[in-house]
Structure 1
Amino acid sequence: MRLENNRAAGDVTFPHRHLVVLGPVSGPRHDAFAQACIDRFGWVPAVLSWDKFLAAPERLQRMLSPGGYLRIDTPDQDVRAIAAVLAAGADEAAATGIETVPVGIETMLAQGDVGSPAQFAFGLVAGITLAERIAQEAGADISIKAVDVACAFDKTRTAARFNKAGLATPRGLPAIHGFEALADAMRAAACSRVFVKLRHGSAAAAMVALARHGTQWRALTTAMLVDGRVRATRAVRRLSDCGDIARLIDRLGPLGLHVEAWVPKISIDGHVADVRIVCVDGAEAFPVLRTSRHPMTNLHLGGARYPIARLIARIGAAAWAEVETSAWRAAALFPASDAIGIDIAVLNDGRRSRLLEANIFGDFVKDLIVGGQTPYSAQLNRIAQRYAAGARTAA
């Protein structure tokens, strides 16, 4: 990506050395945030990769300054950084009975291996906990905290937090570790259609939308088994052989699963639809309508985007206001996060909705602009405002 300086003359500046990113050093997320910084401030921020940080945390200590801001981001597509985060979570994963990845997994990760999402989440939380301490000692602010990350990366814990707050989610089924237990749980709950998700997974990786009709089973999945490993695929696969489905569920079980009822989503132009609302710092919302020919609406899986006005026209302003309220209530349950993506399914009756997930790094949605701003530019504005307020107070 070619980064260009489009900053308007007279725009409020922000000290370059005060903004540090712990995240990817290349890739779409890096490029989008770097461009937002150029547009807003005229410079690209300093970036420290996860692998270098975990190998030598003192690097971050040297980069931060009092009154500064530390932005935490995911490693994105950097397999070396992902492997480093996985290594940081290995002990906790093993202690909790989660399957861990083999040493030297970088090549497999590059080929689409899902690794061990729970192990990755544990490593990420451990790393952010360390980064929090370093930022606090340096007198710098931070974009997220480990307590929010630990919950948001855990679909079961997130659903429980939503439910405790009185927010509706798809009905959850008991934790299962294999196909026979899943079949029993579905029978006991009188539930014939479920989503089987990696409990700590992201981006719909290795997800299974499963339906049972008597003795017949049907599945749509983003997972495939290759040499005994689970690989994520962008081509959603259809499975109808019960044995194939059982082998897949049994293989996913050791990675940790979350099972929920498959709710009937509203459709737009005959395609399944749901909504992501990026909530920024309790002040600004960036909604995007996602549609798909299959149950997974993630854009990288072939989903299409529509203006949110299409959904509002379909369900009405009052129903949409309730969706927005649910998103803000959900975001408020993660108060240590400056931005969070909330996924919501409007049901096919056009009146009810269900909260699906909280995405702690859900602020990257390509080309999403609302009111002339992107989620990144809105965050930079808030960072600059807080810095200016702090500078005035210090003066």
Structure 2
Amino acid sequence: MDRLILIGNPGNRRTEGLQEARRKLGMPPAVVVPYLDLLRGRTSLEQTAELAELRGGRSPVLRLDAPGELFEVERELIALGAPDAPAELADDRLLPYGAWNDPQPLPVKAALSIQEQRGRLYHPSQWFRGYGRLLAMVEKRAKELWPHGRWINAPDDIAAMFDKRYTHRVLTAANVPVPKRLAPPEQLPDYETLREMMSQRRLHRLFIKLAAGSGACGVIAYQTNPVTGAELAVTTIGVESYNTRPPAYYNAVKLRRYTGSQEIRSIINWLLAHGAHIEQWIAKAAYMGHSYDIRQLVVGGEACHRIARVSPTPITNLHLRSQRKTLDEVGLNSSEQDTVKDCAERALAAFGGSTVAGVDVLLDSRLKKPYIVDVNPFGDLLYRVEYSGCNPYEWEMRRLGETFSPFSPMGKERSEPAERKNEY
């Protein structure tokens, strides 16, 4: 079979899980290209081709894994997204909202001097710009080296899925059910405009999501009282205020409740400045008085591993101590489970260059109608969940080992929404 090149962070749960799956299935180990080495120029895809003996017409399969969990990578990506980054690396063509102005951008030198503070959200929009530039660089160089190479998830699809604003547009264009968007992002510059539009459209309960956030980072379940104007924000965002400099925002890794307008205004304005997707808050189906949604993995067009995430709060991510349940345990019948699978498969099919994604499916509390609330290109890190006797990585590698092949040839085009991709 073709060799697998894995661009990721060596030694983390994802890389080790995939390598263990390949070992168990009798496959050669993936050739790991560390994100940090790529960003610092210590390695390249050209060097990888030489080391893996992939010159002379042999074409690999390539996999991009999540860039998180390593602060040095985060810092390098913020620097790559800087306004004074080298011109040859400042390629924003894969960014869905590349014309968006990053607030108070950090120059390269300032970005590289950032010191780690655990949980701190330094500059999410500049980080995403840097990641988009890295994806563009990797896509271009891989295509030059291996014109017939195949991506498990194409770089342009990863950039598109990572941006919740654009994911909503792609799914809407494909007639996949999604919660109603409050407004295009350019029409919501600040908190005051948001409150005014909520009143005009009589939408008093919303989810506000950092455009390129993951793991509930930068998510607010926000509601207002239409009579009194009182407001409540439930979020993982923490705030540290200073007398002499702007407040610092961080991922508290637990939910916090804010009722004060000053704090809520500050958090929302910060999210809007970095890019946010705002959608209707749909009441989720319930189990034992707790709400839940479903993480459904899709591999090669087929829905496979899945888990219901049950929480007493409106935000259900598993790391926030939500309960893990099977779909049978939360009371979904076979028809309802098939509806979840079909909706998730349609969501991934909207991204024609990709084969694997964790799709988050919400069922409304009244009719259990499905809505897609996220498509995660790195959403296959699911513990203690099996399908056909395989964990997620084993199943993915088994399908690849069987030469299953909607794996995307480089350069395959995805149908775009009506608006141009790189505008807002």
TM-score w.r.t. length of structure 1 = 0.87
1:46 aligned residue: 31
Moved more, 87-96 or 113-122: 87-96
1:5 aligned residue: none
Residue 106 to residue 379, structure 1, CA distance change in 2 (3 Å): farther
> Are 2:114 and 1:129 aligned?
no
1:246-285 deviation line (CA, Å, top 9, x unaligned) = 1221232221111111110011122110011111112352
1:79 aligned residue: 71
Instruction: Give the whole-Å Cα distance in 2 for the aligned partners of 1:105 and 1:285.
Output: 43
Instruction: Give the whole-Å Cα distance in 1 for the aligned partners of 2:12 and 2:131.
Output: 19
1:6-32 deviation line (CA, Å, top 9, x unaligned) = xxxxxxxx57xx222111112222222
Residue 379 to residue 237, structure 1, CA distance change in 2 (3 Å): same
Moved more, 143-152 or 335-344: 143-152
Q: Tell me how far 1:350 sits from its aligned partner.
A: 4.1
Tell me the SS of whatever aligns to 2:237. Answer: strand
2:101 to 72, 97, 103: 97
> How is 1:284-323 mapped onto 2 (pairs within 5 angstroms)?
284-311=303-330, 314-323=331-340
AA in 2 matched with 1:378:
W
Moved more, 251-260 or 315-324: 315-324
2:421 aligned residue: none
> Are 2:124 and 1:107 aligned?
no
2:413 aligned residue: none
> Are 2:233 and 1:216 aligned?
no
Name stretches of at least 5 consecutive residues in structure 1 with no aligned partner: 1-13, 389-395
> Are 2:358 and 1:341 aligned?
yes
1:116 to 113, 123, 134: 123
More relative contact order in 1 or in 2 (CA 8 Å, sep 6+)? 2
1:88 to 63, 66, 80: 80
Q: Tell me how far 1:43 sits from its aligned partner.
A: 5.4
> How is 1:202-351 mapped onto 2 (pairs within 5 angstroms)?
202-213=214-225, 214-227=228-241, 228-311=247-330, 314-351=331-368
Instruction: Give the whole-Å Cα distance in 1 for the aligned partners of 2:174 and 2:115.
Output: 42
Q: Tell me how far 1:133 sits from its aligned partner.
A: 2.8
Instruction: Give the whole-Å Cα distance in 2 for the aligned partners of 1:105 and 1:252.
Output: 24
> Are 2:143 and 1:151 aligned?
no
Instruction: Give the whole-Å Cα distance in 1 for the aligned partners of 2:98 and 2:401.
Output: 42
Q: Tell me how far 1:322 sits from its aligned partner.
A: 1.8
Identity of aligned residues (%): 24
1:4 aligned residue: none
Instruction: Give the whole-Å Cα distance in 2 for the aligned partners of 1:106 and 1:55.
Output: 16
Contact kept, 8 Å, 1:73 with 1:361, in 2: the verdict is yes
Residue 111 to residue 383, structure 1, CA distance change in 2 (3 Å): same
2:8 aligned residue: 23
Tell me the SS of whatever aligns to 1:371. Answer: coil
Aligned residue pairs, count: 371
1:190-237 deviation line (CA, Å, top 9, x unaligned) = 011111111121111021111111321111111012241210111100
Instruction: Give the whole-Å Cα distance in 2 for the aligned partners of 1:386 and 1:276.
Output: 26
Instruction: Give the whole-Å Cα distance in 2 for the aligned partners of 1:300 and 1:107.
Output: 25
1:163 aligned residue: 172
> Are 2:68 and 1:60 aligned?
no
1:45-69 deviation line (CA, Å, top 9, x unaligned) = 3322212113338622222322322
1:171-196 deviation line (CA, Å, top 9, x unaligned) = 11123232211111111110111111
Tell me the SS of whatever aligns to 1:41. Answer: coil
AA in 1 matched with 2:80:
A
Name stretches of at least 5 consecutive residues in structure 2 with no aligned partner: 84-91, 242-246, 406-424
Instruction: Give the whole-Å Cα distance in 2 for the aligned partners of 1:32 and 1:178.
Output: 42
Contact kept, 8 Å, 1:345 with 1:355, in 2: the verdict is yes
Instruction: Give the whole-Å Cα distance in 2 for the aligned partners of 1:71 and 1:94.
Output: 24
Q: Tell me how far 1:44 sits from its aligned partner.
A: 4.0
Tell me the SS of whatever aligns to 1:265. Answer: coil
Q: Tell me how far 1:106 sits from its aligned partner.
A: 5.0
Tell me the SS of whatever aligns to 1:22. Answer: strand
Tell me the SS of whatever aligns to 1:47. Answer: strand
Q: Tell me how far 1:387 sits from its aligned partner.
A: 9.0
Instruction: Give the whole-Å Cα distance in 2 for the aligned partners of 1:241 and 1:170.
Output: 27
> Are 2:208 and 1:182 aligned?
no
Tell me the SS of whatever aligns to 1:309. Answer: coil
Q: Which runs of 4+ in 1 moved over 4 A?
A: 92-95
Moved more, 239-248 or 266-275: 239-248
Q: Tell me how far 1:372 sits from its aligned partner.
A: 0.8
Tell me the SS of whatever aligns to 2:69. Answer: coil
Tell me the SS of whatever aligns to 1:170. Answer: coil
Instruction: Give the whole-Å Cα distance in 2 for the aligned partners of 1:342 and 1:381.
Output: 20
Residue 150 to residue 75, structure 1, CA distance change in 2 (3 Å): closer
Tell me the SS of whatever aligns to 2:256. Answer: strand
Tell me the SS of whatever aligns to 1:173. Answer: coil
Contact kept, 8 Å, 1:34 with 1:44, in 2: the verdict is yes
1:9 aligned residue: none
Contact kept, 8 Å, 2:7 with 2:65, in 1: the verdict is yes
Instruction: Give the whole-Å Cα distance in 2 for the aligned partners of 1:305 and 1:86.
Output: 34
Tell me the SS of whatever aligns to 2:329. Answer: helix
Q: Tell me how far 1:42 sits from its aligned partner.
A: 6.0
Contact kept, 8 Å, 1:80 with 1:106, in 2: the verdict is no
